[in-house]
Structure 1
Amino acid sequence: MSKPSPHLTVHVPLDGGRDYDILIGRGLIAGAGGRVAALKGRAAVIVSDETVAALYAAPLRESLEAAGLRSGLVTVPPGEASKSYGCFAAVCDGLLAHKVERGDLVVALGGGVVGDLAGFAAASLRRGVRFVQVPTSLLAQVDSSVGGKTGINSPLGKNLIGAFHQPRLVLADTATLDTLSEREMQAGYAEVAKYGLIGDAGFFDWCEAHWAGIFSGGPERDEAVAVCCRAKAGVVVRDEREDGERALLNLGHTFGHALERLTGYDGARLVHGEGVAIGLALAFRFSARLGLCPGQDAGRVANHLAMAGLPTTLAQVPGGCGDADALLDAMAQDKKVRDGALTFILARGIGKSFIAPGIDRAEVRAFLQDELAA
């Protein structure tokens, strides 16, 4: 394990005593026990996937137990398929078998799948127990571990069953990213770029200049995680339950979630970040088509994502993604649908995204047909 190093801290100032810190830096798992013990639980049971557990569960448990906490471990298979009713039940039963009480803590050790699943189990167990996020993927560190969205997938759509349940602490140990595959780093990077595209053109400029340092593990990595966490924390504080502004964080996700559903949540074909990358490129091209966004901005977005190794077109979905009608049907289950009408996050330029309700289905269908033909 990497030795502890100075870390960055992002505070999430939610009301009602629910505020928490996000700690970002190398080696945080080694010192996790003292920080988790400070939350005043007697036990801390880890939920992880089998791959991540083999790498990090032992040192995390050692740290927890050295701080006087009783620990345990519940594992699930790796991959998006674990965000299911069956795995949710297995995790809940596993936590109960470890005698997790309401005053204890659930520790989510893994990527976005584990964080969503363990968080939802924590929200449901004994009608709510506290939990800690220890994200080990770039995607989870910059996005899914922050903000309290937890849940599982339905055959009818992504993240349709879940709860808002804020963590009590987030420990983003950036040394864990050293063990990620190139594909996983690329997938997480889509969420990094997203924050620049939503409302921070300067950060997107910075990403264009420094993305290689994020991948290689230089100081740019910690800085990128911190910038993304600050941006998300600000949005969450202003709109915790996605009644307005927080929907902007779904830029690219209306398209991306539909693609994940149509590929059967099969990570061998398409992982979440790849779907988001295609969705980001589509959102900007659709915005340009509607006359909202300069075409050169749409081209710049696609070029940068492609340079980072990400797909940007529907033709790059392995095995295909169906026709325009299939994509529209999948989008109809998007969480932002209101009264049956599609809501998209579109853009007037880089860093100028906005919520666009009531988009005409015929316009979307024609755009998708053209994209599929291309």
Structure 2
Amino acid sequence: MKYGRAWRSCARRALQTRNWMADRSVGGRKPMIEQTREHIFLYGPPGSGKTTLAEALAETLQRHFVDLDAHIAQAAGASIPQIFETQGEEIFRRLESEQLELACAETAACVIALGGGALLDPQNRRMVEKSGVVICLMDTEANLLARVRAQSGQRPLLSGDPAQRLADLLAKRAAHYASFNTLHVNKREVSVLVREIQQQLGVYRISGMGAGYDVIVKRSALAQVGSYLQQRGLPGPLVVVSDTVVAPLYAKQVLDSLKRAGYSASLVTIPAGEAFKTLATTATIWEQFLSAGVERGSTIVALGGGVVSDLAGFAASAYLRGVRWVVCSTTLLAMVDAGLGGKTGVDLPQGKNLVGAFHAPALVLSDPDCLQTLPLEEQRNGLAEALKHGVIQDAVLFEQCQQPFDSIDWEDLVRRAVVVKVNVICEDPYEKGRRATLNLGHTIGHAIELVSGFHLKHGEAIGVGMLAEAQLAVRLGMAEAVLPEMIRAALEKIGLPTCIPTGMDLEEVMQTMQHDKKKAGGAVKFALPLAVENVRHGVEVDAGLIAAILAELQY
């Protein structure tokens, strides 16, 4: 008992301090806290790699890492084997529960590695599931045993005959471990497992642009937006920018959540559509910011699709030389692409996104429940960008986009697509290299979209752009002839066009491409697909070949 009494007194004081901090108000008013359950707990049998993977995941998400066993040993002043030897398992479990309570009380989101039996106690399990999500790591018995033997003497419950004791433990706890969401390790690389956990949970971190920011894909996220902002210390007053289509559907829900969290917030509504993504609309937003009393410490919330996030983000980047902003994506296109990367901007008559700024958001929230109100044409619009992500890095996603709409798991599709873009942005946040692969289909697609007067939706134009650029790759000897046909078939299954409308002025399309923002050294640079999961960026293409491909696709 000599290790436990002093530690428990310290733990109670720490909990009291944390509880006091959690009760502090936003803007001088005590808020009603909404539970967002942001801790991530890694659980599983001995040897499953909980500590190693949790530490890597915490580093990727830029979160605090908690090794529960290490904290128990530190608090007790003894190693885990020493606690078992001198005080027994009962005292260890008591210390474990108390330390777990401390970890759950942390106000900042953590990644927590649990001991292999930490959640056998029903009270512990309830506490953990109330404050976060649990992933149970599993592996073959042989793999587990190999890792256990490599750490001889560190696992008291497996001392003596590790093989037999591990077999008995697994048999005894089989139903218990199976009751959690599981991830099978199977000797895979830690980086692969980290990516899979992010995808499974819909939680990501984009680094390299300022302090970095979280991307969260979660059902009912809009109803908890106030809590998400509050937990990140984002200050008010707030202005929510939305459009005439989205605001009637979701503005009240967001404003109510912000109010419950203690925020003062106002709503700015702009006309819906790409035709209004202009400097004139931006000026109107700035005037509304002024009327709402936006300060340099304020936060702007973009609620809507890609046009709204582009406009609101650009307005935030320039107003008072830059104010914080948050993205709440409500369309598939915004969730998988437009709302993620901190690239903001407006169109000029000569081209798309010619005026803008890199201005990283403080948070990106995507609520897949919003897709229930999304028209079929907007689902297709977003699937074009998801298909592009599949071509860049994920063959499974490429196939998933082609499923019948009523059989698509939209939440899973969004999470897979986000993984691709997050990985690329983190590698190249300011588009100096690989991030240019995300422009696949856009050099030609943006020009077609603009020349159509935006009668073609973004996804429709990007789909045709991908097909044209795949044909360019074939003509240049960079890709097999089957690739354009694969892309054509995918577009047809989604219900997207595969040709340029008759009557469109192809010369104007060619001229518009010359204003592309990716132009460098006087030449337009293409991202061309060589195969699914293989895209090369920075490719110069002869104008005559481009014109020939465009002509072939117009019918």
TM-score (norm 2): 0.62
Shift of 1:328: 1.1
- Which residue of 1 is the match for residue 289 of structure 2? 95
- Do the aligned residues in 2 keep the contact of 1:342 with 1:360 (CA within 8 Å)? no
- Do the aligned residues in 1 keep the contact of 2:472 with 2:545 (CA within 8 Å)? no
Is residue 245 from structure 1 mapped to residue 430 from structure 2 by the alignment? no
- Note closer, same or farther for the CA distance 1:10–1:331 as it changes in structure 2 (3 Å cut): same
- Which residue of 2 is the match for residue 262 of structure 1? 451
- Which residue of 2 is the match for residue 67 of structure 1? 261
- Whose radius of gyration is greater, 1 or 2? 2
The 5-angstrom pairing of residues 268-279 of structure 1 reads: 269-279=455-465
* Alignment partners' CA distance in 1, 2:206 and 2:240: 26
Number of aligned residue pairs: give it.
358
Shift of 1:230: 1.5
Q: Tell me, which stretches of 5 or more residues in structure 1 are unaligned?
A: none
Alignment counterpart, residue 230 of structure 2, candidates 32, 37, 40? 37
* Alignment partners' CA distance in 1, 2:217 and 2:552: 43
Alignment counterpart, residue 481 of structure 2, candidates 284, 292, 295? 295
- Which residue of 1 is the match for residue 529 of structure 2? 347
- Which residue of 2 is the match for residue 157 of structure 1? 351
Shift of 1:13: 4.0
Deviations 1:200-240 (A, max 9, x none): 234323434xx33xx4486x211111111121111111111
- Which residue of 2 is the match for residue 8 of structure 1? 201
Shift of 1:294: 1.6
Amino acid of the structure 2 residue aligned with 1:115:
S
Comparing 349-358 with 21-30, greater Cα deviation is found at: 349-358
Q: Which has the higher contact order (CA 8 A, sep 6+)?
A: 1
Amino acid of the structure 2 residue aligned with 1:327:
V
Shift of 1:17: 5.9
Shift of 1:15: 4.5
- Note closer, same or farther for the CA distance 1:126–1:200 as it changes in structure 2 (3 Å cut): same
Is residue 360 from structure 1 mapped to residue 530 from structure 2 by the alignment? no
Comparing 147-156 with 234-243, greater Cα deviation is found at: 234-243
Shift of 1:303: 0.8
Deviations 1:86-140 (A, max 9, x none): 1000011111211111111100000000000000011111111111100100000
Shift of 1:16: 7.5
Q: Tell me, which stretches of 5 or more residues in structure 2 are unaligned?
A: 1-35, 38-132, 134-199
Alignment counterpart, residue 391 of structure 2, candidates 181, 189, 197? 197
* Alignment partners' CA distance in 1, 2:225 and 2:242: 16
* Alignment partners' CA distance in 2, 1:163 and 1:217: 38
Is residue 28 from structure 1 mapped to residue 221 from structure 2 by the alignment? yes
Amino acid of the structure 2 residue aligned with 1:292:
M
Amino acid of the structure 2 residue aligned with 1:223:
D
**3-state SS, counterpart of residue 432 of structure 2:** coil
The 5-angstrom pairing of residues 116-155 of structure 1 reads: 116-155=310-349
Shift of 1:320: 3.4
- Which residue of 2 is the match for residue 229 of structure 1? 418
Amino acid of the structure 2 residue aligned with 1:141:
M
Amino acid of the structure 1 residue aligned with 2:453:
G
* Alignment partners' CA distance in 1, 2:370 and 2:344: 22
- Which residue of 2 is the match for residue 306 of structure 1? 492
* Alignment partners' CA distance in 2, 1:348 and 1:21: 32
Alignment counterpart, residue 175 of structure 1, candidates 363, 366, 369? 369
- Do the aligned residues in 2 keep the contact of 1:197 with 1:352 (CA within 8 Å)? yes
- Identity within the alignment, %: 39
Deviations 1:182-211 (A, max 9, x none): 101101000010011113234323434xx3
TM-score (norm 1): 0.91
